[in-house]
Amino acid sequence: MKFATVRFALTVVVFIAWLGWLLNLAITTAHPIVLCEPQFLVSNLDVLAEIGSTNGDEVVVREVHWPREEADKLVGKKVKVTNLAECKDDWQGTETRYILALIPDGKDAYRVAPLPRSPGFGGPASKAGRPYIYPATPETRKQLDRIQKPAKL
């Protein structure tokens, strides 16, 4: 009987240690940022930009990722982004560059491309249609490089 009690106590200790390890992982593991590929597939211009504030509507383009032909016209220039205020939940401050998937909105303006609708994900709690901006980190840059965009026609 004593052996069974010791074995049970050891099992309880190992189980509690395992739960503690899982709790540690849940608290300390970083939450990765994942680019929404459909948002970039519908965009006409993908840029890395500095955003002074989401209350304004201008960003400074620092790099054009796609199409590369637009780089000469846009790098270092201010670009008007009409729906930037809708992205305020993604904004982390002025020290960060952001990846923006843009679509034209008038003559000299753009807007952040919204997430396209997907079959089966259109209910009221769906985030389809909301535009997202992403901090430009080494990991998000790698993800952006892996997105296969079609050649311009």
Q: What pLDDT is stored for residue 26 in this prediction?
A: 85
Is residue 92 pLDDT above 90, yes or no? Answer: no
SS3 of the chain: the string is CHHHHHHHHHHHHHHHHHHHHHHHHHHHCCCCCCCCHHHHHCCCEEEEEEECCCCCCEEEEEEEEECHHHHHHHCCCEEEECCHHHHHHHCCCCCCEEEEEEEECCCCEEEECECCCCCCCCCCCCCCCCECCEECCHHHHHHHHHCCCCCCC
Q: What pLDDT is stored for residue 82 in this prediction?
A: 94
Is residue 123 pLDDT above 60, yes or no? Answer: no
Of the chain, the end-to-end C-alpha distance in Å amounts to: 80
Tell me the range of 13-22, 30-39, 51-60, 144-153 where mean pLDDT is highest.
13-22
Residue of higher predicted confidence among 111 and 150: 111
Mean pLDDT, all residues of the chain? 88
